[in-house]
């Protein structure tokens, strides 16, 4: 997939003996990663697996099935089930007078003709789940283009740039900022935190600092009982936005 910044392949997963199963997947070999200044080493693919396991442990099914494999053609890496569909229309650029009920503004700017526009996203339970999930894993790259599908079928992809011990949340879903968490979010986070403390959630791709910070973020979310707000000292939206 030539548009990716690292080595990324679309593959067909085959069964025992090479029998094709017709399952398409995204394959990201660890050896094809371009190290980042704040994410050194080949860790991004491991983070993809950890993000899937966090999503499953929360019980919200936000990330396509994702596994680590050592026996792959270009070396060990991550396989993630392919999601058919275009980037979600749940995030959009709108003229201010078209911001209708059910949409939440994120930021204000100008288009190429100097006209005022808003970046906004829908006010849905699914996007709220994704926003809580992103705050939990400290997702530093929640672009609109990393949301596929729509409504309750929306899925999140590309979670390698996450789990940093320092606060680095960058997202296009700031419309929920400051809103109280729902009872379901509180329940999911509490159960996840308990499983994390008991060592019941397999996150072998995270070092001790990342694990400690993950637990701290869960506690912070439960203590405040609200969606996080942007913090100073760090870009709060990814670039590009899509």
Whole-number pLDDT of residue 182: 98
Question: 85 pLDDT band (50/70/90 cuts)?
Answer: confident
| pLDDT value, residue 42 | 79
Region 140-166 average pLDDT: 96
User: pLDDT grade, residue 202 (50/70/90)?
Assistant: very high
What pLDDT score does 4 carry?
74
Backbone angles phi, psi at 33, to 5 degrees: -80, 140
CB within 8 Å of 149: residues ≥ 6 apart:
83, 85, 88, 155
* DSSP annotation of 5: S
- Work out the number of other CB atoms within 10 angstroms of the CB of residue 224: 13
pLDDT digit string, tens, across residues 113-148: 999 999 999 999 999 999 999 999 999 999 999 999
Q: What is the pTM of this model?
A: 0.94
Residue 107 has pLDDT above 90, yes or no: yes
Asked whether the predicted pLDDT for residue 19 surpasses 80, the reply is no
Q: Is the pLDDT of residue 48 over 90?
A: yes
| Parallel, antiparallel or unpaired: strands 103-110 and 116-122 | antiparallel
Q: What does the mean pLDDT of the chain come to?
A: 94
**How many other CB atoms are there within 10 angstroms of residue 98's CB atom?**
12
At 6 the pLDDT is 84
Return the top range by mean pLDDT from 1-5, 31-35, 186-190.
186-190
């Amino acid at each position: 997939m030539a548009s990716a910044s690292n080595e990324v392949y679309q593959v067909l997963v085959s069964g025992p003996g090479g029998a094709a199963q017709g399952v398409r997947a995204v394959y990201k070999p660890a050896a094809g990663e371009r190290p980042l200044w704040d994410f050194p080493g080949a860790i991004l693919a491991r983070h993809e697996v950890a993000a899937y396991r966090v999503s499953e442990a929360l019980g919200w099914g936000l990330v396509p099935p994702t596994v680590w494999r050592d026996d792959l053609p270009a070396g060990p890496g991550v396989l993630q089930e392919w999601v058919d569909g275009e980037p979600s229309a749940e995030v959009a650029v709108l003229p201010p007078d078209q911001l209708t009920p059910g949409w939440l503004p994120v930021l204000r700017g100008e288009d190429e003709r100097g006209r005022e526009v808003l970046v906004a996203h829908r006010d849905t339970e699914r996007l709220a789940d994704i926003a809580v999930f992103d705050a939990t894993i400290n997702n530093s790259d929640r672009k609109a283009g990393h949301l596929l599908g729509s409504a309750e079928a929306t899925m999140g992809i590309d979670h390698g740039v996450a789990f940093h011990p320092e606060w680095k949340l960058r997202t296009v879903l700031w419309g929920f900022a400051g809103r109280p968490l729902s009872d379901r979010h509180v329940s999911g986070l509490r159960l996840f935190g308990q499983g994390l403390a008991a060592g019941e959630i397999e996150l072998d791709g995270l070092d001790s600092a990342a694990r400690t910070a993950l637990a701290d973020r869960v506690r912070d979310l439960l203590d405040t009982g609200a969606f996080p707000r942007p913090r100073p000292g760090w870009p709060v939206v990814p670039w590009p936005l899509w």
